[in-house]
Amino acid sequence: MMFELLQKIYNITLELERILEQEDYEEFDRLLQIRNVTMTEVDGLKVNHPNFQYTNLETQLLEDIYALNSQLMKKSEDIKTNSELSINKMNSKKQLFKYKPYFKQTSGVFVDETLGKG
């Protein structure tokens, strides 16, 4: 049972990385919630079995999950940082246009119709 739960967490973590690259943040959030529920199930199994020990295969799977998750966290932090920079840049441009003085166009020509009538 524990191995199946850990395998599910591993597969979801792989999928999270793929989804993050596709920038599908709603799906990313949905998968995170599923992974969190699965992690809670793992914790519940450990609590119900006080002398629980991971097998060597489960320990290796946990290490792989941790490594994948570290990569995932770095990528998500990079995306967050880039998003914050983009937002700050847009806000700076808004501020610049906010204080830019209004000027009238003077390159056009105004023709008065009454000049030609005489």
96-116 confidence digits (pLDDT tens)? 666 655 555 555 555 555 655
Q: How far is CA 31 from CA 16, 76, 90, in A?
A: 7, 14, 30
Residues 38/15, Cβ–Cβ less than 8 Å: no
Per-residue pLDDT of the chain (118 residues; tens, 9 = 90+): 899 999 999 999 999 999 998 989 899 999 999 999 999 999 999 999 889 999 999 999 999 999 999 999 999 898 888 888 888 888 777 766 666 555 555 555 555 556 555 5
**pLDDT at position 19, please?**
93
Which residues, at least 6 apart from 78, have a Cβ–Cβ distance to it below 8 Å?
none
What are the φ/ψ torsions at residue 62 (nearest 5 degrees)? -60, -40
Whole-model pTM: value is 0.70
Q: How far is CA 112 from CA 18, 27, 109, in A?
A: 65, 62, 10
**Can you list the alpha helix ranges (DSSP code H) found in 23-116?**
25-48, 56-99
**pLDDT at position 113, please?**
59
- 5 membership: H or E segment, kind and range: helix 2-22
Residue type, position 55, single letter:
T
